[in-house]
Amino acid sequence: MVGSVATPEALRTLNREAVAAACDLVEIRLDGLATGGEIPQPEAWAHLRGLPLLFTARRGDEGGSGAWSAAQREAMLRAALADAALLDVEVASIGEMPTLLRDLAARGLPWVASFHDFSGPSDAATLGAARDRAAAAGAAVFKAAVTPGGVADLCDLVAFQGAPSPLPVAVMGMGPLGPVSRLLGAQFGSPLHYGFLGPAPTAPGQWSAALLREAIRHLAPLRHG
């Protein structure tokens, strides 16, 4: 269970004990913390140090806050390396951050390769190409967040998750069908489930982390096929 936080205000008010009860991994959205052009510094999350932390510096065209360049986003991620259990690097950023990815491999620090489509569900060929590029680049997990328009899209998304893959695949929907998609993905074995910490979602269709964790607890696992 991943709890995501994306603003300085929300991060400051997080209670360590409540966070630990709500999620297993804390995603800190560095792009949302980088106000005034300043690269976020470790003091901002010092009160959460010791918990497993996932750091993300999201591209603007994949839901990030601000129009940060690849170099700026890489600098944000590098500033967080000492505290990171995981990083998130978009598939679209793989070609922009080759040195960072080599450094992560040298450190043995795993990373999530993410893909976002806010306009639609994305077809299996598109998702498969992104997943395979992530695997070739050395990602530990491929995460696909898309926007399903109906039940058929949800079925296709879960089918993609269950298809043969060179690395673990996490899927989730955004928008009106986002909440139910996250439960369905969890039932079919998605390895990552994202909810928000603080007062507001970090993506459309998110549950709060605590509520999503409780809902998933009541689900019976299902098998593909």
Judge whether 55 and 84 are in contact, CB under 8 Å.
yes
Which residues are CB-neighbours of 115 under 8 A, at least 6 positions away?
A: 62, 90, 91, 92, 122, 127, 130, 131, 134, 142, 143, 144, 145, 146
Instruction: Grade residue 202 by pLDDT with cuts at 50, 70 and 90.
Output: very high
The mean per-residue pLDDT over the stretch 116-120 comes to 96
CATH code of the domain occupying 2-217: 3.20.20.70
Across the strands, what pairs with 143?
A: 114, 170
CB atoms within 10 A of CB 26: 25
Confidence at residue 125, expressed as pLDDT on a 0 to 100 scale: 97
Marked catalytic residue, from 47, 143, 193, 218: 143
Instruction: Grade residue 162 by pLDDT with cuts at 50, 70 and 90.
Output: very high
Confidence at residue 222, expressed as pLDDT on a 0 to 100 scale: 87
193 is catalytic: no
pLDDT digits (tens, 9 = 90+) for 19-33: 999 999 999 999 999
- H or E segment to which residue 116 belongs: strand 111-116
Residue-wise DSSP of 136-173: HHT-SEEEEEE---SHHHHHHHHHHHHS--SS-EEEEE
The mean per-residue pLDDT over the stretch 186-191 comes to 95
pLDDT digits (tens, 9 = 90+) for 47-74: 999 999 999 999 999 999 988 999 999 9
Confidence at residue 93, expressed as pLDDT on a 0 to 100 scale: 98
143 is catalytic: yes
Marked catalytic residue, from 116, 193, 218, 224: 116
The mean per-residue pLDDT over the stretch 134-142 comes to 98
Judge whether 193 and 4 are in contact, CB under 8 Å.
no
- Per-domain residue ranges of the chain: 2-217
Mean pLDDT of the chain: 96
